[in-house]
A and B are shown apart, each in its own frame.
Chain A
Amino acid sequence: MSTTAQPGPVSIPAPRSTQRTGQRSNFELYSWLFMRISGIVLVFLVLAHLVIMNILDGGVQRINFAFVAGRWSSPFWQVWDLMMLWLAMLHGTNGLRTIINDYAERDQTRFWLKMILYVAAAFTIILGTLVIFTFDPNIG
């Protein structure tokens, strides 16, 4: 038994506006849906990537330039890696956007944190895409 005053039932006040006012975008709805759809696809792409890279056939010990050259000689693994790159980066970036919105309270801070996030994400996606498409097994 606690001696603190027993609070009455807590409740959330009823919404003050009963209707959506004005024209609002559905961006947050699509972003919510995208997190779920990309998540389902990423289960297959990323978990298989991890099993191949870390467990099968010697695992991480057998990875080197020649190994990557062998894999990227096949369009199948090129497309696999490309989809994994885009989906994981967009999913992760969208997730971090939510987290910044949750914790950064000042508008300025929010704005700049998101700018850094978007620049880093765009840079990473472009770099990864170029690396897959311009890969040269005879380099160096």
Chain B
Amino acid sequence: MATLPVGTLYRGGEGMWTWVLHRITGVAVFFFLIVHVLDTALVRVSPEAYDLVIATYKTPIVNLLEVGLVGAVLYHALNGLRVILVDFWSRGPRYQRQMTWAIGAVWIVLMVPGTFFMLKHTIEAMFGSTS
């Protein structure tokens, strides 16, 4: 039998990691959102100012960061729905482990084509046409 930590009931495991990731993605998206409202506010300054800042969104490196942002939001949304189901659905607690694997699968199924379409233009600009 494995050693139990003395004085705690907490065992870690995948339930802890889904929670840690939920927290990290929530904070990251929050800070992005503050910056995002600031960059959108440039439409009140001038079309030129707005277009200049939005141009950075189109560069290859920022384009890659956008994939990371979308991945973070998607994880936070799917895991948030799982937490809500555990809290409100009578069978939620019983199926919470299966739901963890299900959101992992949904995340991959959506992110693979999503990443491709998000990077399509950057890939074409760097390596030529993809079709």
Contacts and interface: CB of A to CB of B under 8 A. Distances in A.
Q: Do A and B bind each other?
A: yes
Interface of A: 1-2, 4, 6-7, 10-12, 36, 39-40, 42-43, 46-47, 50, 54-55, 58-61, 63-66, 68-69, 85, 88-89, 92-93, 95-96, 99, 120, 124, 127-128, 130-131, 134-136, 139-140
A130 B4 CA distance: 56
Given A39-B84, A89-B33, A131-B44, A10 B6 contact: yes
A6 B6 CA distance: 9
What secondary structure prevails in chain B residues at the interface with A? Answer: helix
A-B pairs, 5 with minimum CB distance: A65-B47, A92-B30, A140-B46, A2-B3, A128-B37
Interface residues of B, number: 46
Given A128-B37, A140-B46, A55 B9 contact: no
Given A36-B87, A85-B37, A140 B48 contact: yes
Nearest to A4: B3
Contacts of A68: 40, 43, 50
A135 B42 CA distance: 10
Given A10-B4, A139-B46, A140-B48, A46 B73 contact: yes
Interface string B14-51: 00000000010011011001100110110110111011
Nearest to B81: A43
A117 B41 CA distance: 20
Given A39-B84, A54-B66, A131-B41, A60 B57 contact: yes
B77 A43 contact: yes
B8 interface: yes
A131 B117 contact: no
Contacts of A95: 26-27, 30
B121 to A, nearest CB: 5
B84 A128 contact: no
13 contacts: A2-B2, A36-B87, A39-B80, A54-B70, A54-B117, A54-B118, A58-B121, A59-B121, A65-B43, A92-B29, A92-B33, A95-B30, A99-B27
